[in-house]
Amino acid sequence: MVERLLRLAGFSVFVVVAIGCLDAFQSHASAPAIIVLDVNRAAVSKSASAQIPPGWDLKVNAGQPDITLGDGSDETALHFRSAKSSIALEKTIDVDPSQMPYLSWHWKVTQLPRGGDFRHSSSDDQAAQIMVAFTDRKIVDYIWDTTAPQGTMESASAIPLVHIFAIVCRSGFADLNRWIPEVRNIEADYQKAYGKPAPHVKGLRLQINTQHTGTSAESYFGEMAFRNTQS
Domains by residue range for the chain, with CATH: 2-227 (2.60.120.430)
pLDDT of residue 27 exceeding 60: no
Looking at residue 169, its pLDDT comes to: 96
Q: Residue range 3-16: average pLDDT?
A: 45
Other Cβ atoms within 10 Å of 201 Cβ, number: 25
Do 127 and 121 touch, CB atoms closer than 8 A? Answer: no
Give the angle 217-225-79 at the CA atoms, nearest 5°: 25
Of the ranges 16-25, 154-163, 209-218, the best mean pLDDT one: 209-218
Q: Is 88 exposed, middle or buried, given 0-12, 13-18 or 19+ CB atoms closer than 10 A?
A: buried
pLDDT confidence tier of residue 142, bands split at 50, 70 and 90 = very high
Position 61 scores a pLDDT of 85
Residue range 23-35: average pLDDT? 56
Mean pLDDT across the chain, nearest whole number?
82
pTM: 0.82
Given pLDDT bands bounded at 50, 70 and 90, which one contains residue 25? Answer: very low
Cα separation, 168 vs 7, in Å, equals: 18
Quote the Cα angle for 189-107-42, to 5°: 110
Per-residue model confidence (pLDDT) at position 1: 43
